[in-house]
Homo-oligomer: A and B are copies of this chain.
Amino acid sequence: MSDQPLTLSPDRLFPADRTTRGIARELYAAVRALPIISPHGHTDPSWFSLNESFSDPATLLLAPDHYLYRLLYSQGVPLEALGVPSRAGAPDTDTREAWRTFAAHFHLFRGTPSAMWLNHVFVEVFGLDVRLSAQTADHYYDVIDAALKTKAFRPRALFDRFNIEVLATTEGPTDTLDHHHAIARSGWGGRVITAYRPDPVIDADHEAFEGALEAFGDITNLDVYSWKGYLEAHRVRRADFIAAGATSSDHGHPTALTADLSGAEAQALFSRVVKGQSSVEDNELFRAQMLTEMAKMSLDDGLVLQIHPGSFRNHNGPLFDSHGRDKGADIPTRTDYVRALKPLLNRFGNDPALSIIVFTLDESAYARELAPLAGHYPALKLGPAWWFHDSPEGMRRFREQTTETAGFYNTVGFNDDTRAFLSIPARHDVARRVDCSFLARLVAEHRMEMDEAAELAVELAYTLAKRAYRLDAPPMADPARQHA
Protein backbone atom coordinates (compact mmCIF):
# COMPACT_ATOMS: atom_id res chain seq x y z
CA MET A 1 0.00 0.00 0.00
CA SER A 2 2.96 2.30 0.62
CA ASP A 3 4.58 4.47 -1.99
CA GLN A 4 1.79 3.89 -4.43
CA PRO A 5 1.58 6.53 -7.12
CA LEU A 6 -0.76 9.45 -6.59
CA THR A 7 -2.25 10.97 -9.71
CA LEU A 8 -5.31 13.05 -10.47
CA SER A 9 -7.28 11.66 -13.38
CA PRO A 10 -8.30 14.38 -15.84
CA ASP A 11 -11.71 12.63 -15.93
CA ARG A 12 -12.31 12.54 -12.21
CA LEU A 13 -15.92 13.05 -11.14
CA PHE A 14 -17.21 12.71 -14.70
CA PRO A 15 -19.87 10.02 -15.28
CA ALA A 16 -18.49 6.73 -16.57
CA ASP A 17 -20.82 6.54 -19.55
CA ARG A 18 -18.70 7.41 -22.58
CA THR A 19 -21.13 9.73 -24.29
CA THR A 20 -21.88 11.67 -21.15
CA ARG A 21 -18.24 11.82 -20.17
CA GLY A 22 -17.33 13.20 -23.56
CA ILE A 23 -19.83 16.01 -23.15
CA ALA A 24 -18.70 16.71 -19.59
CA ARG A 25 -15.08 16.92 -20.75
CA GLU A 26 -15.98 19.47 -23.40
CA LEU A 27 -18.03 21.61 -21.03
CA TYR A 28 -15.37 21.46 -18.34
CA ALA A 29 -12.54 22.36 -20.73
CA ALA A 30 -14.15 25.75 -21.23
CA VAL A 31 -14.56 26.58 -17.54
CA ARG A 32 -11.56 24.83 -15.99
CA ALA A 33 -9.33 27.87 -16.07
CA LEU A 34 -11.86 30.60 -15.30
CA PRO A 35 -10.85 32.83 -12.39
CA ILE A 36 -12.12 31.87 -8.97
CA ILE A 37 -14.93 33.92 -7.47
CA SER A 38 -15.06 33.13 -3.74
CA PRO A 39 -17.86 35.29 -2.35
CA HIS A 40 -18.20 33.54 0.99
CA GLY A 41 -15.44 32.02 3.12
CA HIS A 42 -13.45 32.01 6.31
CA THR A 43 -9.83 32.57 5.44
CA ASP A 44 -7.84 34.86 7.70
CA PRO A 45 -7.25 38.33 6.24
CA SER A 46 -4.02 38.66 8.21
CA TRP A 47 -2.50 36.07 5.89
CA PHE A 48 -2.85 38.51 3.03
CA SER A 49 -1.99 41.68 4.94
CA LEU A 50 1.11 40.27 6.65
CA ASN A 51 2.00 37.75 3.92
CA GLU A 52 4.06 35.62 6.29
CA SER A 53 4.96 32.01 5.62
CA PHE A 54 2.60 29.34 6.93
CA SER A 55 4.25 27.52 9.83
CA ASP A 56 4.15 23.78 9.13
CA PRO A 57 2.01 21.06 7.49
CA ALA A 58 0.04 20.03 10.56
CA THR A 59 -0.70 23.54 11.80
CA LEU A 60 -1.75 24.66 8.33
CA LEU A 61 -3.67 21.67 7.02
CA LEU A 62 -4.78 19.60 9.98
CA ALA A 63 -5.29 21.44 13.27
CA PRO A 64 -7.77 24.06 12.00
CA ASP A 65 -9.82 21.77 9.72
CA HIS A 66 -12.75 20.27 11.58
CA TYR A 67 -13.70 18.27 8.47
CA LEU A 68 -10.53 16.31 9.05
CA TYR A 69 -10.14 15.89 12.77
CA ARG A 70 -13.83 15.14 13.38
CA LEU A 71 -13.59 11.94 11.36
CA LEU A 72 -10.40 10.85 13.11
CA TYR A 73 -12.01 11.68 16.45
CA SER A 74 -15.02 9.55 15.51
CA GLN A 75 -12.66 6.61 15.20
CA GLY A 76 -11.13 7.11 18.61
CA VAL A 77 -8.17 9.38 17.85
CA PRO A 78 -7.86 12.02 20.63
CA LEU A 79 -7.88 15.63 19.45
CA GLU A 80 -4.69 16.27 21.39
CA ALA A 81 -2.87 13.80 19.18
CA LEU A 82 -3.74 15.96 16.18
CA GLY A 83 -2.66 19.23 17.72
CA VAL A 84 -6.20 20.61 17.96
CA PRO A 85 -6.28 23.38 20.59
CA SER A 86 -8.48 23.08 23.65
CA ARG A 87 -9.69 25.87 25.90
CA ALA A 88 -6.35 25.49 27.66
CA GLY A 89 -4.55 26.34 24.44
CA ALA A 90 -2.73 24.30 21.82
CA PRO A 91 -1.41 20.97 23.11
CA ASP A 92 2.33 20.49 22.98
CA THR A 93 1.94 17.72 20.43
CA ASP A 94 4.86 17.60 18.04
CA THR A 95 3.55 18.72 14.68
CA ARG A 96 5.37 15.93 12.86
CA GLU A 97 3.83 13.37 15.24
CA ALA A 98 0.39 14.87 14.63
CA TRP A 99 0.94 14.60 10.90
CA ARG A 100 2.00 10.96 11.24
CA THR A 101 -1.16 10.16 13.18
CA PHE A 102 -3.22 11.80 10.48
CA ALA A 103 -1.38 9.98 7.71
CA ALA A 104 -1.86 6.61 9.40
CA HIS A 105 -5.62 7.20 9.39
CA PHE A 106 -5.95 8.69 5.92
CA HIS A 107 -7.87 5.62 4.72
CA LEU A 108 -10.80 6.82 6.87
CA PHE A 109 -11.41 9.55 4.28
CA ARG A 110 -11.99 7.15 1.39
CA GLY A 111 -15.07 8.27 -0.47
CA THR A 112 -15.18 11.69 1.22
CA PRO A 113 -14.68 15.09 -0.42
CA SER A 114 -11.87 15.77 2.06
CA ALA A 115 -9.81 13.04 0.40
CA MET A 116 -10.43 14.56 -3.03
CA TRP A 117 -9.57 18.07 -1.89
CA LEU A 118 -6.42 16.98 -0.08
CA ASN A 119 -5.13 14.85 -2.94
CA HIS A 120 -5.71 17.82 -5.24
CA VAL A 121 -3.66 20.01 -2.90
CA PHE A 122 -0.92 17.39 -2.57
CA VAL A 123 -0.52 17.02 -6.34
CA GLU A 124 -1.31 20.48 -7.66
CA VAL A 125 0.05 22.69 -4.90
CA PHE A 126 2.97 20.60 -3.61
CA GLY A 127 3.79 18.32 -6.55
CA LEU A 128 3.59 15.14 -4.49
CA ASP A 129 3.30 11.93 -6.50
CA VAL A 130 2.87 9.13 -3.94
CA ARG A 131 -0.17 8.52 -1.80
CA LEU A 132 -0.31 9.67 1.80
CA SER A 133 0.03 6.78 4.27
CA ALA A 134 1.90 5.89 7.44
CA GLN A 135 4.89 5.01 5.25
CA THR A 136 4.95 8.29 3.36
CA ALA A 137 4.04 10.57 6.26
CA ASP A 138 7.55 11.88 6.80
CA HIS A 139 8.15 12.37 3.09
CA TYR A 140 4.99 14.45 2.95
CA TYR A 141 5.92 16.43 6.02
CA ASP A 142 9.34 17.23 4.65
CA VAL A 143 8.17 18.22 1.18
CA ILE A 144 5.33 20.41 2.42
CA ASP A 145 7.36 21.95 5.22
CA ALA A 146 10.16 22.87 2.85
CA ALA A 147 7.76 24.36 0.33
CA LEU A 148 6.02 26.47 2.95
CA LYS A 149 9.31 28.14 3.79
CA THR A 150 9.70 29.46 0.23
CA LYS A 151 8.36 32.73 -1.12
CA ALA A 152 6.28 30.94 -3.71
CA PHE A 153 4.12 29.53 -0.92
CA ARG A 154 3.43 32.76 0.90
CA PRO A 155 -0.27 33.69 0.96
CA ARG A 156 -0.18 36.37 -1.72
CA ALA A 157 1.85 34.24 -4.10
CA LEU A 158 -0.58 31.38 -3.69
CA PHE A 159 -3.55 33.74 -4.11
CA ASP A 160 -2.13 34.88 -7.44
CA ARG A 161 -1.18 31.35 -8.50
CA PHE A 162 -4.70 30.13 -7.65
CA ASN A 163 -6.15 32.68 -10.09
CA ILE A 164 -8.51 34.11 -7.49
CA GLU A 165 -10.36 37.13 -8.82
CA VAL A 166 -12.02 37.95 -5.53
CA LEU A 167 -11.97 36.35 -2.09
CA ALA A 168 -14.39 37.27 0.68
CA THR A 169 -13.51 36.75 4.32
CA THR A 170 -16.04 37.04 7.15
CA GLU A 171 -15.70 39.45 10.06
CA GLY A 172 -17.73 40.24 13.14
CA PRO A 173 -19.40 43.56 13.95
CA THR A 174 -16.63 44.64 16.31
CA ASP A 175 -13.76 43.92 13.97
CA THR A 176 -11.55 46.88 13.13
CA LEU A 177 -10.96 45.59 9.60
CA ASP A 178 -7.35 46.66 9.98
CA HIS A 179 -6.07 43.79 7.89
CA HIS A 180 -8.38 44.68 5.05
CA HIS A 181 -7.26 48.29 5.26
CA ALA A 182 -3.65 47.15 5.25
CA ILE A 183 -4.24 45.02 2.17
CA ALA A 184 -5.83 47.98 0.42
CA ARG A 185 -2.92 50.24 1.31
CA SER A 186 -0.29 47.66 0.36
CA GLY A 187 -0.47 48.11 -3.35
CA TRP A 188 -0.82 44.37 -3.85
CA GLY A 189 -3.47 43.73 -6.50
CA GLY A 190 -5.34 40.87 -4.82
CA ARG A 191 -9.02 41.60 -4.14
CA VAL A 192 -9.72 40.41 -0.59
CA ILE A 193 -13.02 41.75 0.70
CA THR A 194 -14.90 41.33 3.94
CA ALA A 195 -18.49 40.30 4.75
CA TYR A 196 -20.58 41.57 7.63
CA ARG A 197 -21.50 38.85 10.11
CA PRO A 198 -23.22 40.51 13.05
CA ASP A 199 -24.27 37.29 14.87
CA PRO A 200 -22.26 38.10 18.02
CA VAL A 201 -24.40 41.19 18.72
CA ILE A 202 -27.66 39.58 17.53
CA ASP A 203 -27.57 36.17 19.20
CA ALA A 204 -28.33 36.74 22.87
CA ASP A 205 -28.00 33.00 23.51
CA HIS A 206 -24.29 33.23 22.75
CA GLU A 207 -22.15 33.21 25.89
CA ALA A 208 -20.19 36.26 24.70
CA PHE A 209 -23.20 38.40 23.74
CA GLU A 210 -22.88 40.92 26.55
CA GLY A 211 -19.24 41.64 25.88
CA ALA A 212 -19.79 41.85 22.15
CA LEU A 213 -22.55 44.39 22.63
CA GLU A 214 -20.31 46.56 24.79
CA ALA A 215 -17.54 46.42 22.20
CA PHE A 216 -20.13 47.25 19.53
CA GLY A 217 -20.92 50.46 21.41
CA ASP A 218 -17.23 51.26 21.84
CA ILE A 219 -16.33 50.86 18.19
CA THR A 220 -19.30 52.91 16.98
CA ASN A 221 -19.49 55.46 19.77
CA LEU A 222 -23.23 54.97 19.80
CA ASP A 223 -25.72 54.07 22.51
CA VAL A 224 -26.25 50.48 21.44
CA TYR A 225 -28.50 49.89 24.44
CA SER A 226 -31.23 51.96 22.81
CA TRP A 227 -33.07 50.38 19.87
CA LYS A 228 -32.42 53.41 17.71
CA GLY A 229 -28.74 53.56 18.57
CA TYR A 230 -28.35 49.82 18.11
CA LEU A 231 -29.81 49.94 14.60
CA GLU A 232 -27.71 52.98 13.79
CA ALA A 233 -24.60 51.13 14.95
CA HIS A 234 -25.39 48.38 12.45
CA ARG A 235 -25.78 50.98 9.71
CA VAL A 236 -22.46 52.52 10.62
CA ARG A 237 -20.62 49.23 10.66
CA ARG A 238 -22.22 48.08 7.41
CA ALA A 239 -20.87 51.27 5.86
CA ASP A 240 -17.43 50.47 7.32
CA PHE A 241 -17.59 46.99 5.87
CA ILE A 242 -18.74 48.27 2.50
CA ALA A 243 -15.75 50.59 2.53
CA ALA A 244 -13.62 47.48 3.06
CA GLY A 245 -15.17 45.86 0.01
CA ALA A 246 -18.09 43.99 1.56
CA THR A 247 -21.00 43.22 -0.74
CA SER A 248 -22.88 40.94 1.63
CA SER A 249 -23.94 40.30 5.19
CA ASP A 250 -24.10 36.79 6.59
CA HIS A 251 -26.35 35.35 9.30
CA GLY A 252 -25.89 31.95 10.89
CA HIS A 253 -29.01 31.25 12.92
CA PRO A 254 -30.29 28.06 14.55
CA THR A 255 -33.50 28.32 12.50
CA ALA A 256 -34.71 30.27 9.48
CA LEU A 257 -37.29 32.16 11.53
CA THR A 258 -37.98 35.72 10.50
CA ALA A 259 -40.36 38.25 12.04
CA ASP A 260 -41.91 41.53 11.08
CA LEU A 261 -42.79 43.23 14.34
CA SER A 262 -44.13 46.72 14.73
CA GLY A 263 -41.63 49.36 15.83
CA ALA A 264 -43.02 49.34 19.34
CA GLU A 265 -42.92 45.54 19.62
CA ALA A 266 -39.38 45.43 18.31
CA GLN A 267 -38.25 48.09 20.72
CA ALA A 268 -39.84 46.31 23.69
CA LEU A 269 -38.25 43.03 22.65
CA PHE A 270 -34.86 44.66 22.25
CA SER A 271 -35.21 46.21 25.65
CA ARG A 272 -35.75 42.80 27.28
CA VAL A 273 -32.82 41.38 25.36
CA VAL A 274 -30.27 44.00 26.34
CA LYS A 275 -31.43 44.02 29.96
CA GLY A 276 -30.81 40.28 30.16
CA GLN A 277 -34.50 39.74 30.83
CA SER A 278 -35.23 37.84 27.65
CA SER A 279 -36.49 34.28 27.45
CA VAL A 280 -35.22 31.68 24.98
CA GLU A 281 -38.25 32.51 22.84
CA ASP A 282 -37.44 36.21 23.02
CA ASN A 283 -33.92 35.56 21.82
CA GLU A 284 -35.23 33.49 18.92
CA LEU A 285 -37.71 36.22 18.03
CA PHE A 286 -35.02 38.87 18.25
CA ARG A 287 -32.80 37.00 15.79
CA ALA A 288 -35.87 36.62 13.56
CA GLN A 289 -36.67 40.33 13.69
CA MET A 290 -33.06 41.29 13.00
CA LEU A 291 -33.12 39.43 9.66
CA THR A 292 -35.93 41.71 8.60
CA GLU A 293 -34.10 44.77 9.93
CA MET A 294 -31.04 43.72 7.97
CA ALA A 295 -33.14 43.31 4.82
CA LYS A 296 -34.46 46.82 5.31
CA MET A 297 -30.90 48.15 5.57
CA SER A 298 -29.92 46.13 2.50
CA LEU A 299 -32.50 48.00 0.49
CA ASP A 300 -30.63 51.14 1.45
CA ASP A 301 -27.01 50.10 1.19
CA GLY A 302 -27.21 47.21 -1.27
CA LEU A 303 -25.62 44.44 0.80
CA VAL A 304 -26.72 40.95 -0.22
CA LEU A 305 -28.34 39.15 2.72
CA GLN A 306 -27.15 35.58 3.35
CA ILE A 307 -29.07 33.28 5.72
CA HIS A 308 -27.34 30.07 6.91
CA PRO A 309 -29.79 28.31 9.25
CA GLY A 310 -30.23 24.90 10.74
CA SER A 311 -27.10 23.92 12.61
CA PHE A 312 -27.39 22.67 16.19
CA ARG A 313 -24.17 24.17 17.50
CA ASN A 314 -21.94 22.52 20.10
CA HIS A 315 -23.96 19.32 20.31
CA ASN A 316 -21.21 17.62 22.30
CA GLY A 317 -21.48 19.16 25.76
CA PRO A 318 -18.34 17.68 27.32
CA LEU A 319 -16.26 18.56 24.25
CA PHE A 320 -17.62 22.11 24.29
CA ASP A 321 -16.59 22.39 27.93
CA SER A 322 -13.07 21.17 27.25
CA HIS A 323 -12.40 22.51 23.74
CA GLY A 324 -14.93 25.27 23.01
CA ARG A 325 -16.76 26.00 19.74
CA ASP A 326 -16.22 24.79 16.20
CA LYS A 327 -14.77 21.39 17.00
CA GLY A 328 -16.77 19.32 14.53
CA ALA A 329 -19.78 18.89 16.82
CA ASP A 330 -22.25 21.13 14.97
CA ILE A 331 -25.05 18.89 13.72
CA PRO A 332 -27.72 19.82 11.16
CA THR A 333 -31.37 19.72 12.13
CA ARG A 334 -34.64 19.57 10.30
CA THR A 335 -35.44 23.11 9.15
CA ASP A 336 -38.69 24.74 8.13
CA TYR A 337 -38.51 27.53 5.55
CA VAL A 338 -42.12 27.98 4.47
CA ARG A 339 -43.52 29.43 7.65
CA ALA A 340 -40.18 30.75 8.89
CA LEU A 341 -39.39 32.99 5.92
CA LYS A 342 -42.94 34.24 5.37
CA PRO A 343 -42.70 37.42 7.49
CA LEU A 344 -39.52 38.57 5.77
CA LEU A 345 -40.65 37.56 2.29
CA ASN A 346 -44.05 39.15 2.73
CA ARG A 347 -42.42 42.39 3.82
CA PHE A 348 -39.62 42.62 1.24
CA GLY A 349 -39.64 39.47 -0.91
CA ASN A 350 -41.41 41.06 -3.86
CA ASP A 351 -38.71 43.68 -4.31
CA PRO A 352 -36.23 42.68 -7.04
CA ALA A 353 -33.80 45.27 -5.66
CA LEU A 354 -33.22 43.05 -2.63
CA SER A 355 -31.11 39.91 -2.84
CA ILE A 356 -31.54 37.24 -0.16
CA ILE A 357 -29.47 34.08 -0.48
CA VAL A 358 -30.63 31.18 1.64
CA PHE A 359 -28.68 28.01 2.43
CA THR A 360 -29.78 24.73 3.96
CA LEU A 361 -28.39 21.75 5.80
CA ASP A 362 -31.73 19.99 5.40
CA GLU A 363 -31.79 18.60 1.88
CA SER A 364 -35.41 17.50 2.23
CA ALA A 365 -36.27 21.20 1.82
CA TYR A 366 -34.63 21.55 -1.63
CA ALA A 367 -37.49 20.31 -3.79
CA ARG A 368 -40.26 20.76 -1.26
CA GLU A 369 -39.70 24.29 0.03
CA LEU A 370 -36.65 26.10 -1.25
CA ALA A 371 -36.97 25.62 -5.00
CA PRO A 372 -40.67 26.59 -4.96
CA LEU A 373 -39.89 29.69 -2.87
CA ALA A 374 -36.92 30.76 -4.99
CA GLY A 375 -38.89 30.01 -8.15
CA HIS A 376 -41.44 32.59 -7.07
CA TYR A 377 -40.07 35.44 -4.92
CA PRO A 378 -37.99 38.01 -6.82
CA ALA A 379 -35.75 38.71 -3.83
CA LEU A 380 -34.86 35.09 -3.02
CA LYS A 381 -32.07 32.93 -4.42
CA LEU A 382 -30.61 29.59 -3.38
CA GLY A 383 -27.12 29.26 -2.03
CA PRO A 384 -25.16 26.21 -3.21
CA ALA A 385 -24.95 22.82 -1.50
CA TRP A 386 -23.48 23.75 1.87
CA TRP A 387 -21.10 22.34 4.49
CA PHE A 388 -21.72 18.59 4.79
CA HIS A 389 -23.44 18.77 1.39
CA ASP A 390 -20.52 20.56 -0.30
CA SER A 391 -19.56 17.25 -1.88
CA PRO A 392 -20.03 15.51 -5.23
CA GLU A 393 -23.19 13.65 -4.19
CA GLY A 394 -24.47 16.67 -2.28
CA MET A 395 -24.04 18.97 -5.28
CA ARG A 396 -25.67 16.46 -7.57
CA ARG A 397 -28.69 16.21 -5.27
CA PHE A 398 -28.85 20.01 -5.11
CA ARG A 399 -29.08 20.31 -8.90
CA GLU A 400 -31.42 17.33 -9.32
CA GLN A 401 -33.79 18.59 -6.66
CA THR A 402 -33.83 22.34 -7.33
CA THR A 403 -33.40 22.82 -11.08
CA GLU A 404 -36.77 21.62 -12.31
CA THR A 405 -38.65 24.09 -10.13
CA ALA A 406 -36.24 27.00 -9.58
CA GLY A 407 -34.17 26.72 -12.75
CA PHE A 408 -30.46 27.53 -12.77
CA TYR A 409 -30.81 31.29 -12.67
CA ASN A 410 -32.24 31.39 -9.16
CA THR A 411 -29.03 29.82 -7.87
CA VAL A 412 -25.82 31.71 -7.18
CA GLY A 413 -22.88 29.57 -8.28
CA PHE A 414 -20.45 28.04 -5.84
CA ASN A 415 -19.25 29.06 -2.35
CA ASP A 416 -16.20 27.33 -0.93
CA ASP A 417 -17.07 28.54 2.60
CA THR A 418 -13.68 27.43 3.85
CA ARG A 419 -10.84 28.46 6.10
CA ALA A 420 -8.61 25.90 4.34
CA PHE A 421 -7.02 28.37 1.92
CA LEU A 422 -4.94 25.83 0.03
CA SER A 423 -8.01 23.78 -0.83
CA ILE A 424 -9.91 26.62 -2.52
CA PRO A 425 -8.90 25.70 -6.06
CA ALA A 426 -9.68 22.03 -5.35
CA ARG A 427 -13.15 22.91 -4.06
CA HIS A 428 -14.03 25.08 -7.03
CA ASP A 429 -12.68 22.40 -9.34
CA VAL A 430 -14.96 19.78 -7.77
CA ALA A 431 -17.95 22.09 -8.14
CA ARG A 432 -17.14 22.80 -11.79
CA ARG A 433 -16.74 19.11 -12.54
CA VAL A 434 -19.98 18.13 -10.82
CA ASP A 435 -21.97 20.89 -12.48
CA CYS A 436 -20.53 20.02 -15.89
CA SER A 437 -21.42 16.38 -15.26
CA PHE A 438 -24.98 17.32 -14.40
CA LEU A 439 -25.28 19.47 -17.51
CA ALA A 440 -23.72 16.69 -19.58
CA ARG A 441 -26.43 14.30 -18.46
CA LEU A 442 -29.10 16.78 -19.53
CA VAL A 443 -27.44 17.10 -22.94
CA ALA A 444 -26.93 13.34 -23.32
CA GLU A 445 -30.58 12.77 -22.50
CA HIS A 446 -31.61 15.49 -24.98
CA ARG A 447 -33.10 17.65 -22.27
CA MET A 448 -30.92 20.60 -23.23
CA GLU A 449 -28.84 21.62 -26.24
CA MET A 450 -25.06 21.69 -26.09
CA ASP A 451 -24.83 25.45 -26.63
CA GLU A 452 -27.23 26.04 -23.74
CA ALA A 453 -25.18 23.78 -21.48
CA ALA A 454 -21.99 25.57 -22.48
CA GLU A 455 -23.51 28.92 -21.55
CA LEU A 456 -24.75 27.53 -18.25
CA ALA A 457 -21.39 25.96 -17.38
CA VAL A 458 -19.84 29.43 -17.45
CA GLU A 459 -22.72 30.89 -15.46
CA LEU A 460 -22.42 28.22 -12.75
CA ALA A 461 -18.62 28.42 -12.56
CA TYR A 462 -18.20 32.16 -12.68
CA THR A 463 -20.89 34.62 -13.72
CA LEU A 464 -23.78 33.76 -11.38
CA ALA A 465 -21.64 34.19 -8.26
CA LYS A 466 -20.31 37.51 -9.52
CA ARG A 467 -23.77 38.78 -10.31
CA ALA A 468 -25.57 37.41 -7.24
CA TYR A 469 -22.97 38.85 -4.89
CA ARG A 470 -22.84 42.15 -6.81
CA LEU A 471 -19.12 41.86 -7.32
CA ASP A 472 -19.08 43.96 -10.47
CA ALA A 473 -20.74 47.04 -9.06
CA PRO A 474 -19.98 47.45 -5.36
CA PRO A 475 -23.09 48.33 -3.35
CA MET A 476 -23.84 51.87 -2.36
CA ALA A 477 -26.71 53.65 -0.76
CA ASP A 478 -29.40 54.87 -3.12
CA PRO A 479 -30.84 57.97 -1.46
CA ALA A 480 -34.08 57.58 -3.40
CA ARG A 481 -34.74 54.31 -1.58
CA GLN A 482 -34.04 55.38 2.00
CA HIS A 483 -36.30 53.70 4.54
CA ALA A 484 -36.79 55.95 7.52
Q: Which residues of A contact B (CB under 8 A)?
A: 1, 4, 8-9, 11-20, 70-71, 73-76, 107-113, 116, 131, 312, 315-319, 328-334, 336, 338-339, 342, 345-346, 349-350, 352, 361-364, 367-369, 371-378, 380, 388-389, 391-394, 400-401, 403-410, 441-442, 444-449, 451-452, 455-456
**Contact of A371 with B349 in the complex, beta carbons under 8 Å:** no
Please give, as numbers and ranges, the residues of chain B lying within 8 Å of A71 by CB-CB distance: 375, 406-407, 410
Known interface pairs A13-B446, A410-B74, A456-B110. Does A404 touch B377 (Cβ–Cβ under 8 Å)? no
User: Are A388 and B371 in contact, CB atoms less than 8 angstroms apart?
Assistant: yes
Q: Which residue of B lies closest to A113 (CB)?
A: B404
List of B residues within 8 angstroms of A18 by Cβ: 19
Q: Is the CB of A393 within 8 A of B400?
A: yes
Give, as a whole number of angstroms, the nearest-CB distance from A422 to chain B: 20
Identical chains in the assembly: 3
Given the contacts A74-B376, A111-B408, A446-B11, A316 and B345 also touching, CB distance less than 8 Å: yes
Of B20, B70, B449, which one neighbours A376 at CB under 8 angstroms?
Answer: B70
Task: Please judge, given known A-B contacts A332-B372, A372-B332, A407-B71, whether A394 and B367 are in contact too, CB under 8 Å.
Answer: yes
Q: Are the CB atoms of B407 and A388 closer together than 8 Å?
A: no
When C-beta atoms are compared, the residue in chain B nearest to A381 turns out to be B74
Assess whether B11 is in contact with A408, with CB atoms less than 8 Å apart.
no
A318 CB contacts on chain B under 8 angstroms: 346, 350
Given the complex, which residues of B lie within 8 Å of A312, measured CB to CB? 338-339
Q: Are A112 and B404 in contact (CB under 8 A)?
A: yes
Cβ contacts under 8 Å, A408 to chain B? 110-111
* Nearest Cβ on chain B to A447's Cβ, whole angstroms: 7
Contact A372 B404, CB 8 Å, known A316-B345, A342-B315: no
Cα distance A76–B317 in the bound complex, in angstroms: 46
Instruction: Say whether B378 contacts A76, CB under 8 Å.
Output: yes
* Known interface pairs A404-B112, A405-B112; A367-B342 also in contact (CB < 8 Å): no
Q: What's the least CB distance linking A163 to chain B, in Å?
A: 23
On whether the beta carbons of A368 and B334 are closer than 8 Å, the reply is yes
On whether the beta carbons of A12 and B376 are closer than 8 Å, the reply is no
With A111-B442, A336-B334 given, is the CB distance from A368 to B363 under 8 Å?
Answer: yes
Contact A107 to B452, CB < 8 A, known contacts A332-B372, A338-B315:
yes
- Of the candidates A373, A407, A442, the one having the most CB atoms from chain B within 10 angstroms of its own CB is A407
Cross-interface CB contact of A17 among B9, B17, B74, cutoff 8 Å: B17
Interfacial chain B residues near A333, Cβ < 8 Å: 336, 338-339, 368-369
